[in-house]
Amino acid sequence: MHAAALEAAGNAELVAVYDKAVERAQKFAGDHKVRAAESFEAFLADSEIEAVTIATPTGIHGAVALPAAAAGKHILCEKPLDVTLEKSDAIIKACHQNNVTLAAVFQSRFGTAVQLLKKAIDAGRFGQMVLASTKIHWFRSQQYYDSAGWRGTWELDGGGALMNQSIHTVDLLVYLNGSPAEVFAYTDTLTHTGIEVEDTAAAVVKFKNGALGTIEASTSCAPGFPRQIEISGENGSVLLEDDRILRWEFTEELPEDAEIRANGAAGEGMYGGAGDPMAINYEGHRRQIEDLADAIINKKSPKLPGQEGRRAVELICGIYESARTGKPVKF
């Protein structure tokens, strides 16, 4: 997916790959007509490489990101930055100290429907925010978890349905509605055997802006439905399903609202993955890669800098703590 997005980007070029599995790296290099580095050290020493994209298991993001930052490489790191807030902060700090740009992969923010909703929120169209909720009723088979030893482990996956699959939607929740003040949650493993982490979670969130919300997250819901985000305020409500606008209603109608409703229902087809991780479209990744490349070229901050990448991790870690202790967690 990252390779396809890079190849489609208009201002970035895929030039090299490193994988400790040599045969896999060589096959990738042949398929994409790039070179395969013989070692990680050689990869980082390559002067043609200006930025790296990290798509390893989450628990070793830091082991890749810290030396990459020290080598002066800009970084695009898959979500989450790392399995804990402390490790995520270490990556952010290393990039700051080495004066390199860090972006966390939360490509869903780059969807048109999300940006329209964010614009309406920032313009104050909702008035007092009241409710902000998400449903991620996804499905992953037992075979998915069995396909790689790191899946479903605390050490390398960092969590389950929340930290791996639902983190994109949790990120949208805090991006759109702001930071949480408190959370209370339950998590459980209901249908998958042999995994350490949750496959189902439910949380109630109180936000700093006064709104309340819920997060429903699961990889046990066959066949898997598109994720939903619903934002409601005293003056309006919006419902998104993946990148489609299902409802867009405000007490004060603006001229563009009818067009948004008409066009937004079609969506862009840039998400997916509710039942099959291979069905996720790379368009959002392409947009984020182009944004990062533009930031590097023009020496400015990307739209989604590393510091933003910690927000969803913070909320999810709070959910895990609440589920473990049976008590609310304040932020």
Report whether CATH 3.40.50.300 matches the domain 109-277+307-330. no
Of 140, 156, 166, which Cα lies nearest the Cα of 275? 140
What's the burial of 147, exposed, middle or buried (CB within 10 Å: 0-12/13-18/19+)? exposed
- Identify residue 292 by its one-letter amino acid code: L
- For the chain, the domains span 2-107, 109-277+307-330
Residue 156 structure tokens: 């390398």
Q: How many residues does the chain have?
A: 331
Cis geometry, peptide bond prior to residue 223 (ω within 30 degrees of 0): yes
Asked if residue 97 lies in contact with residue 89, where contact means CB atoms within 8 angstroms, the answer is: no
**For the segment 157-200, what is each residue's pLDDT rounded down to a tens digit?**
999 999 999 999 999 999 999 999 999 999 999 999 999 999 99
Would residue 218 be called left, alpha or beta, if left means φ above 0 and alpha means ψ between -120 and 50 degrees? beta
Tokens 């990869």 label which residue? Answer: 43
Question: Is-same-fold flag (2-107; 109-277+307-330)?
Answer: no
- How far is it, in rounded angstroms, from Cα 40 to Cα 54? 12
Whole-number pLDDT of residue 48: 97
DSSP 110: G
**In whole angstroms, how far apart are CA 99 and each of 61, 68, 93, 225, 309?**
19, 12, 10, 42, 18
Whole-number pLDDT of residue 270: 76
CATH class of the domain comprising 2-107: alpha beta
Each residue's pLDDT, cut to its tens digit, for the chain (331 residues) gives 899 999 999 999 999 999 999 999 999 999 999 999 999 999 999 999 999 999 999 999 999 999 999 999 999 999 999 999 999 999 999 999 999 999 999 999 999 999 999 999 999 999 999 999 999 999 999 999 999 999 999 999 999 999 999 999 999 999 999 999 999 999 999 999 999 999 999 999 999 999 999 999 999 999 999 999 999 999 999 999 999 999 999 999 999 999 999 998 777 877 789 988 888 889 999 999 999 999 999 999 999 999 999 999 999 999 999 999 999 999 9
